[in-house]
Chains A and B, each alone.
Chain A
């Protein structure tokens, strides 16, 4: 078994409340049906019914961990998530595959670039945005054990980032210390942000890199401390509106603070293609990110 399904299986053995569901997306669950047939439920291509059924299972004491593409879970099934899971305060764990840039060649129908906005809009919904599979596996037991519903931005590649701190819910990880610029990122983009920071460091620019790890609960303290630096850059494969840049703006408003912020995100759906071409076209390669930040610093 692959690492993710092995972890799910270990957790299922420990806790018989856990059921794993999918809307016929078995990419990360190839072998689980064979080893846990009773608590593996594939509903077919029916995301709304899956979330409704997950709510019913949770209502009866189960902890459903549900899988499909991030778009179909957060968009198609949104009302079921908000109304059945959210209002019901049920501990359903929603695992969204190929979020953001990871949908590469699929096109806008498959691009989860508004998922954070939607899940942030549901009170009590946790949002877990691991930077790589390593972090996802480290955080998952606590996320599944939480009494809250959770959205998990799935990422399947291990070791994208050299982690500096053990996982802690609601605490951002400081991957680079610095005091000229802070880059705040989450998920797939964290590794790009670290590389961009290293490019800038070669020019003598001191860059702090924060990996948010969970957006809900959010590390407000780390974000506010970052705002004391001359520039805060948010980097996300999400619409620039209603993602972390907007969440940061809300916090600044609540705290009656100001900060210089460069929000880097997507103005609209990105042009699909192979992942390397997508990043280049969208201006998200580490060199391009470093260039955009350098340009902004020079304009300051």
Chain B
């Protein structure tokens, strides 16, 4: 059954609110704004429609691992919008007396595991999926990776293991925004044809529009859960989605914006024209 139009409108509103949270975190130290904006819709969709979770403490919950940890502002924004986190807590970003920083950690309810070093959580998700199999559970294990992150060889080792062990409860979601830190993936270490690579490693791969809730719902409903090996959704996204002044700009990867720039970006999110930005990207992250 496809998503009703009213439901899609509601998810659009929620995703816009998540993007507002992301933009507000891009000052006073900054954040990885581009990568966070690219996976905002994915996270909103997964928590609203796909994952079977009754709150962060639900013992029977599906598990989501965020392997591309630098987009954690999108996850925190999603948590706020589904009522798992107080919005005020985001103001503690980069204060050492709380745990809200550039990468996720388990001090925040809802975060299943810490990440930041790329190419780790697909392996961790394989272990969690193996445990679910051992226990005879129907629990799904979802892991979100970046596309640049697929350069790391550990991802491909983990896929070989997942296929060998028939982990049909494992779903890999690739935030395919076509960028890594400094440039387009295809200009540095080309990944395409990506479906063929995943298929060759024994996974069923489906490509879809990562910003279209109906398309996402269609793709996730087609995954062969419980029947074959691991599944992969290649979600085509735009780095910086929602903000034309940031979208697909290698020089706006990680920025510590001024408060005025943040206000201008919030207006831009609501269709107010492109923000005039002068803060430069920091590239040492």
Interface residues of A (CB under 8 A from B): 24-28, 30, 42-46, 48-49, 71-72, 76, 97-98, 104-110, 156, 270-274, 277-278, 280-282
- The contact of A46 among B28, B69, B152, B285, by CB within 8 Å, is B152
The size of the chain B interface, using a CB distance under 8 A, is: 31
Q: A24-B148, A24-B188, A48-B153 are in contact. Are A272 and B283 (CB under 8 A)?
A: no
Least CB distance from A78 to B in Å reads 13
Establish whether residues B189 and A43, one from each chain, have CB atoms under 8 Å apart when the complex forms.
Answer: yes
Establish whether residues B188 and A42, one from each chain, have CB atoms under 8 Å apart when the complex forms.
Answer: yes
Establish whether residues A24 and B95, one from each chain, have CB atoms under 8 Å apart when the complex forms.
Answer: no
Task: Give CA–CA (A237, B118) in the complex, Å.
Answer: 24
Main secondary structure of the interface of A (DSSP, over half): loop
- The contact of A273 among B94, B148, B188, by CB within 8 Å, is B94
Main secondary structure of the interface of B (DSSP, over half): loop
- The contact of B284 among A27, A48, A109, A278, by CB within 8 Å, is A27
Q: A97-B284, A107-B103, A273-B94 are in contact. Are A45 and B149 (CB under 8 A)?
A: yes
Chain A hits for B28, CB < 8 A: 274
- The contact of B151 among A44, A76, A104, by CB within 8 Å, is A44
Establish whether residues A45 and B118, one from each chain, have CB atoms under 8 Å apart when the complex forms.
Answer: yes
B115 contacts partner chain A, Cβ-Cβ < 8 Å: yes
Interface residues of B (CB under 8 A from A): 28-29, 69, 94-97, 99, 101-103, 105, 114-119, 148-149, 151-153, 180-182, 188-189, 283-285
Give the number of residue pairs across the A-B interface with Cβ within 8 Å. 96
Establish whether residues A24 and B180, one from each chain, have CB atoms under 8 Å apart when the complex forms.
Answer: yes
Task: Give CA–CA (A274, B101) in the complex, Å.
Answer: 9
Establish whether residues B116 and A46, one from each chain, have CB atoms under 8 Å apart when the complex forms.
Answer: no
Least CB distance from B284 to A in Å reads 4
Task: Give CA–CA (A72, B285) in the complex, Å.
Answer: 12
Task: Give CA–CA (A50, B94) in the complex, Å.
Answer: 32
Chain B hits for A42, CB < 8 A: 188
Beyond the given pairs A26-B182, A273-B95, 10 more chain A to chain B contacts, judged by CB atoms under 8 angstroms and listed by A's residue number, are: A42-B188, A44-B188, A45-B118, A49-B153, A105-B29, A107-B101, A107-B105, A109-B69, A273-B29, A277-B96
Please indicate which of the listed interface residues B94, B117, B189, B283 has the most CB atoms of chain A within 10 Å of its own CB: B117
Least CB distance from A294 to B in Å reads 24
Task: Give CA–CA (A274, B114) in the complex, Å.
Answer: 19
The 30 sampled A-B contact pairs (Cβ below 8 Å) are A24-B151, A26-B181, A30-B283, A44-B151, A45-B119, A45-B148, A45-B180, A46-B151, A46-B152, A46-B153, A71-B117, A104-B29, A105-B29, A105-B101, A106-B116, A107-B105, A109-B103, A109-B114, A109-B116, A110-B117, A271-B96, A272-B94, A272-B96, A273-B94, A273-B95, A273-B96, A273-B101, A277-B94, A278-B96, A281-B96
Q: A44-B189, A107-B102 are in contact. Are A26 and B283 (CB under 8 A)?
A: yes
